[in-house]
């Protein structure tokens, strides 16, 4: 039956606050990465025109004759993919949501609703299962004070704590509180399937078309493929920082935090290298990047298949707009609102007109 158990209001997702708030440190970090990738692409284009051997894998990779641009390209992409293997990496919640430590059940995942979730946290604190020293150092001092007051039984302070997603992440929730009903999990899977299939098909079609053009034009060679890779590498950051046509035209979801293909960026960036996997002269460059990207993708999809509730804002409070600390939409959100006024560009399907996520069908 359909219930309101998994509905939530994406508080803070509307209004004019986007233009006035300060950019977060994480957002600025992504901006720096976008600038570096832009420089890398421009350097690649310059080499393509003036010194193509600098980006020819079979001739220059591996410090042959000194440091070449192709070596720098490898290091940049390798390190970027590597960050996706560590939950402690300074990256977006859009990537980290696969890990259980970032899964905080929404209040309505409890049978008693918000009152039940607060009662559970209160009992946990009173039983001493949460120690003061476990609170992350970066938590504000007032939260630590609120924590100590709560231990004395101050309900008002408990409410303050419940608004801190960092605090909620150290609560030892039970397995049943972290697992949605099978009906709800299946609905999440179905929702994600509807989002990603058009993207996957469009991606295959796009790359097939580009490949056909390159072959027809006689431009299918290593330097061209490297420029292709660098373009995708930069395009990934443009989608995060400035504007994402995939989100707007195909997925129509709310943001990067809830985006299912956020960790597809690795395999998407190295897609052109798939056309070189059988060329042994490029193996030391191609295979490490392709294999790592595939591992990231498979690991991501296996996590989703097993724990779909971690990937949905209706079942994971870490993904709610009100709890977002990344604020990667600093530029993209105002732009998205402007583009949404253009006829034919629909509102993201993740929210209804009231700003609420659609309910899940659950028992």
Helix (H) or strand (E) holding 149: helix 141-151
Least confident residue range of 70-84, 283-297, 316-330: 316-330
Based on the domain organization, do 89 and 238 belong to the same domain? yes
Based on the domain organization, do 225 and 86 belong to the same domain? yes
Once rounded to an integer, what is the mean pLDDT over residues 27-52? 96
Once rounded to an integer, what is the mean pLDDT over residues 53-69? 87
- Domain limits at 165? 110-176
Based on the domain organization, do 291 and 333 belong to the same domain? yes
Give the pLDDT score at 356: 47
With 0-12 / 13-18 / 19 or more C-beta atoms within 10 angstroms meaning exposed / middle / buried, residue 294 is middle
Give the rounded percent of residues in the chain with a pLDDT score beyond 70: 66
* pTM (predicted TM-score): 0.76
Stronger pLDDT, 280 or 136, i.e. the higher one: 280
Question: Which of 316, 288, 320 shows the shortest CA–CA distance to 303?
Answer: 316
In a domain, 354, yes or no: no
**Token pair listed for 76:** 């940049």
Give the pLDDT score at 301: 96
Based on the domain organization, do 94 and 29 belong to the same domain? yes
CB distance 51 to 44 below 8 Å: no
In a domain, 3, yes or no: no
Based on the domain organization, do 96 and 145 belong to the same domain? no
Based on the domain organization, do 72 and 187 belong to the same domain? yes
Give the pLDDT score at 9: 39
Structurally, how many domains does the chain consist of?
Answer: 2
Q: Is the predicted pLDDT of residue 246 greater than 70, yes or no?
A: yes
Based on the domain organization, do 300 and 220 belong to the same domain? yes
In a domain, 336, yes or no: yes
CB distance 323 to 316 below 8 Å: no
Based on the domain organization, do 303 and 207 belong to the same domain? yes
In a domain, 90, yes or no: yes
Give the pLDDT score at 63: 73
Q: How confident is residue 256, by pLDDT bands cut at 50, 70 and 90?
A: confident
Give the pLDDT score at 105: 81
Q: Is the predicted pLDDT of residue 352 greater than 50, yes or no?
A: no
Based on the domain organization, do 158 and 206 belong to the same domain? no
Based on the domain organization, do 36 and 118 belong to the same domain? no
| Residues 6+ away with beta carbon under 8 Å from 196 | 251, 260, 261
In a domain, 333, yes or no: yes
In a domain, 305, yes or no: yes
Based on the domain organization, do 117 and 74 belong to the same domain? no
Stronger pLDDT, 192 or 143, i.e. the higher one: 192
Once rounded to an integer, what is the mean pLDDT over residues 183-205? 91
Based on the domain organization, do 144 and 48 belong to the same domain? no
């Amino acid at each position: 039956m359909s219930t309101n158990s998994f509905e939530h209001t994406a508080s803070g997702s509307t209004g004019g606050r986007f233009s006035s708030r300060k950019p977060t440190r994480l957002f600025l970090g992504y901006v720096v990465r976008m600038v570096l990738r832009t420089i890398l692409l421009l350097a690649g284009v310059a080499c393509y025109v003036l010194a193509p051997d600098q980006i020819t894998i079979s001739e220059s990779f591996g410090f042959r004759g000194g440091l070449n641009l192709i070596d720098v390209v490898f290091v940049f992409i390798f390190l970027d993919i590597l960050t996706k293997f560590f939950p402690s990496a300074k990256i977006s919640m859009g990537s980290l949501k696969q890990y259980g430590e970032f899964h905080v059940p929404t209040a309505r995942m409890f049978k008693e609703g918000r009152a039940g979730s607060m009662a559970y946290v209160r009992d946990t604190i009173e039983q001493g299962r949460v120690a003061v020293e476990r609170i992350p150092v970066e938590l504000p001092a007032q939260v630590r004070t609120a924590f100590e007051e709560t231990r004395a039984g101050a309900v008002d302070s408990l409410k303050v704590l419940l608004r801190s997603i960092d605090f909620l992440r150290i609560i030892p929730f039970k397995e049943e509180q972290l697992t949605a009903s099978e009906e709800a999990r299946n609905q999440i899977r179905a929702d994600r399937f509807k989002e990603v299939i058009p993207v996957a098909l469009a991606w295959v079609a796009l790359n097939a078309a580009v490949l056909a053009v390159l072959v027809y034009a006689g431009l299918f060679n290593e330097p061209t493929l490297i420029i292709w890779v660098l373009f995708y590498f930069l395009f990934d950051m443009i989608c995060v920082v400035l504007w994402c046509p995939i989100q707007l035209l195909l997925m129509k979801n709310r943001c990067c935090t809830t985006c299912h293909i956020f960790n597809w960026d690795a395999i998407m960036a190295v897609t052109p290298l798939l056309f070189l996997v059988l060329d042994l002269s490029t193996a030391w460059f191609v295979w490490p990047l392709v294999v790592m990207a595939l591992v990231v993708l498979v690991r991501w999809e296996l996590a989703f298949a097993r724990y779909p509730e971690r990937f949905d804002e209706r079942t994971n409070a870490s993904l709610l707009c009100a709890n977002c600390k990344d604020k990667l939409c600093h530029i993209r959100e105002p732009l998205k609102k402007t583009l949404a006024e253009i006829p034919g560009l629909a509102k993201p399907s993740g929210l209804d007109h009231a700003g609420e996520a659609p309910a899940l069908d659950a028992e």
